Structure 1
Amino acid sequence: MKIGIVCPYAWDVPGGVQFHIRDLADHLIRLGHEVSVLAPADDETPLPPYVVSAGRAVPVPYNGSVARLNFGFLSAARVRRWLQHGAFDVIHIHEPASPSLGLLSCWAAQGPIVATFHTSNPRSRAMIAAYPILQPALEKISARIAVSEYARRTLVEHLGGDAVVIPNGVDVDFFATAEPKAEWQGRTIGFIGRIDEPRKGLPVLMKALPTILSEVPDARLLVAGRGDEAEAVADLPADLRSRVEFLGMVSDEDKARLLRSVDLYVAPNTGGESFGIILVEAMSAGAPVLASDLDAFAQVLDQGEAGELFTNEDADALAAAAVQLLGDPARLTELRDRGARHVRRFDWATVGADILAVYETVTTGAMSVATDERIGPRGRRRLAKD
């Protein structure tokens, strides 16, 4: 099968959507399918052979964060050229409602189109206001996927229609077989995420850290991710700052090794999450998980059966839960075992088969994807103006 996948966000900026698309493409290629991914990328960004650059992205506030998106006349032309050259059996557009390549692809394509919705935002005024613009494009979608029940709910409430829920996938064995790193072991707490993005929750963890370290004096925090390290520890007592080690950006291999090494992985995210891929990765690596009780996180952790939950944005609750877990080896072992069993439902062997089943449903008896010539000059003027 010839499959075109559209990534809305810059390929060189790590994020859950980009990782999901990368891993899906790798999985499909291993199965023998022909895959091309269209994504925003700077000229100097090294790209896998299956990724086609749609040009430089620009930072835009989106869904409580800053996303690097790609839009406008030149981008639209590149989308149409990619579609014409690809002769795809199906295209799989991620975040088709975002002001980026996904929406441009919906406008430009006709034929079997699958769309995956990742966003969970129950109060998106922008999405409601944009509905008249989005509707003609979204009506062309043949099948819809949501990565969680909460992403599905956002879709239903804001854009209408429905979707099948298929979670993000993880190569469970990649994390489960990673080799722990000796210097990252020994009463360590792990955090992975963008340091300077408040919704990832590092400030909440930093606020809880003095209490944790006073009760567990030999504990330390390992932080992996990009951002201002000095600012991250600015509110931490000076004598405790040495107990935080910043690892910077880490490779996929080192991320797996980090998750295999820590005694406890903490996900203090404060909102804007529709799934929680890092939780699945942590469970795959055998790391006990302590996470804020966001609806999406609670769903991934089987309502607290596969990981501990604490009250969102409550640093005292986080500290109390972390201290209790670090002092209870039996509970940590129980969480490791439960997480390892629970996480198998997110393995690509299962998730990939479900996505392929959707592809097969929309391509049976259908023509291949083509460009929609109905856009015409008026549509081109609209894109040029945008």
Structure 2
Amino acid sequence: MKVCIVCPYGISSPGGVWNHIQNLSHEIKNRKIDHIIVLPTSNYNLKNKNYYQIGKTFKIRSAGSIANITISPFIGDQVKKFLSYYNPDLIHIHEPFAGSLPMFFIKYAKCKIVATFHSNKGTWLYKYKMSTLFKSLYNKIDYRIAVSKSSKNYINKYFKNNYVIIPNGINTKNFKSYKTSNNSKILNLLFIGRNDKRKGLKYLIQALENYKFEFPIKLTIIGHEYKGNKIDGIKICNPGIVSEELKQQILINSDILCAPSLGYESFGIILLEAMASNTIVIASNIEGYNEIITHDINGLLFEPRNPKSIYDSINYIYKNKQHKDLIIKNGQNTLNNYDWNNISDKIIEVYKNLK
């Protein structure tokens, strides 16, 4: 079987869709399935022969973030040429309406098409109800996957159909390093997120600035350049964008991951990575996150945009060590549903049934 996986986003700023595709690629490679990943050209150096680049990316504001996608109407011939050369048995397209690259693949495909819908908020094309333009392309899709209930509910508003939920996941083996017990009184607090308002960092900062903690805190901020003021009693470490390996190590050495996003999160990979690291998760009670976190069972949920709610969550975890250990244990049990070994089995089963 030859599978072509289409990623709509340039990877100069990697995100959840790209991580999903990389994990899927790794798993199907282990199962000896011939595949290639097609994605837009970017300034990221791709040396792997399993990548093929078509079209340049442009930064488009979408769903509270910036998406690097191809919008050129002139890449159709390149797509046709590639399909003729590679001749796939199946095309797996992620976010089929995110730019012109995936849409040209649907248009010119002569084989079965699987589409995975990741987002729970669409581009302006959706918001202005122009989805009728996509109906002829949509009808060519043979199998439809959504990564969460919120992404399924969103796409189903515009294209009513049967969607099978196959979630995002993580490679739990990557996080099996032993966590050293924190015998100091310092609470290691972690934020991971791009420099987007929707990630909600300012509300975490307000919680640390406006409320008095009875214990010292070290806040590490990954992926976001912090330009704010110093905070009394809070040590701030801001390494910016880090390697995957360093991110994993910082997660393992943290006590709490705080995810104060405002919305537009169809899923929460970083929440699972924290659980796999035996790190407590406190997160906004929003769609996507509350599908993974059950409050006070495998993490804590707080009110979005509410610094006092964040403050209360941090305090609760610090002062309830026994319950903290139970939350960590429940988090480990949650991971069974999101291990990439199990997820890839489901996706490959889809491939085989369509072939």
Which TM class, normalised by the smaller chain length? over 0.9
1:265 to 242, 257, 261: 257
The letter for the 2-side match of 1:316 is K
Distance 1:21 1:185 in 2: 40
The letter for the 2-side match of 1:262 is S
The letter for the 2-side match of 1:81 is K
TM-score (norm 2): 0.93
Indicate yes or no: 2:316 matched with 1:324. Answer: yes
1:228-263 alpha-carbon deviations (Å, 9 max, x no partner): x21xx2xx4x45396211011111111111111100
The answer for the alignment partner of 2:126 in structure 1 is: 126
The answer for the alignment partner of 1:210 in structure 2 is: 209
The answer for the alignment partner of 1:249 in structure 2 is: 241
Q: Report sequence identity in percent.
A: 27
The answer for the alignment partner of 2:325 in structure 1 is: 333
The answer for the alignment partner of 1:368 in structure 2 is: none
Indicate yes or no: 2:98 matched with 1:71. Answer: no
Q: Which has the higher contact order (CA 8 A, sep 6+)?
A: 1
The answer for the alignment partner of 1:102 in structure 2 is: 102
The answer for the alignment partner of 1:223 in structure 2 is: 221
The letter for the 1-side match of 2:26 is D
Indicate yes or no: 2:93 matched with 1:93. Answer: yes
CA contact (8 A) 1:181 1:258 kept: no
The letter for the 2-side match of 1:54 is I
Partner of 2:190, secondary structure, is: strand
1:345 to 334, 337, 351: 337
Distance 1:335 1:100, change over 3 A: farther
Distance 1:123 1:13 in 2: 18
Question: Which deviates the most, 288-297 or 68-77?
Answer: 68-77
CA contact (8 A) 1:40 1:69 kept: yes
Partner of 1:215, secondary structure, is: coil
Partner of 1:300, secondary structure, is: coil
The answer for the alignment partner of 1:198 in structure 2 is: 197
1:240 to 232, 244, 249: 232
The letter for the 1-side match of 2:168 is N
1:309 to 261, 280, 301: 301
1:278 to 251, 256, 270: 270
The letter for the 2-side match of 1:355 is I
The answer for the alignment partner of 2:23 in structure 1 is: 23
CA contact (8 A) 1:6 1:38 kept: yes
CA contact (8 A) 1:36 1:52 kept: yes
The letter for the 1-side match of 2:221 is V
Distance 1:326 1:162 in 2: 44
Partner of 1:247, secondary structure, is: strand
Distance 1:166 1:303, change over 3 A: farther
Partner of 2:68, secondary structure, is: strand
The letter for the 2-side match of 1:245 is C
Cα deviation, residue 117, structure 1: 0.2
Cα deviation, residue 201, structure 1: 1.1
The letter for the 2-side match of 1:138 is Y
- Aligned-pair RMSD on alpha carbons? 2.3
1:246-293 alpha-carbon deviations (Å, 9 max, x no partner): 011111111111111100111101110111111111111111100000
Unaligned runs of 5+ in 2: none
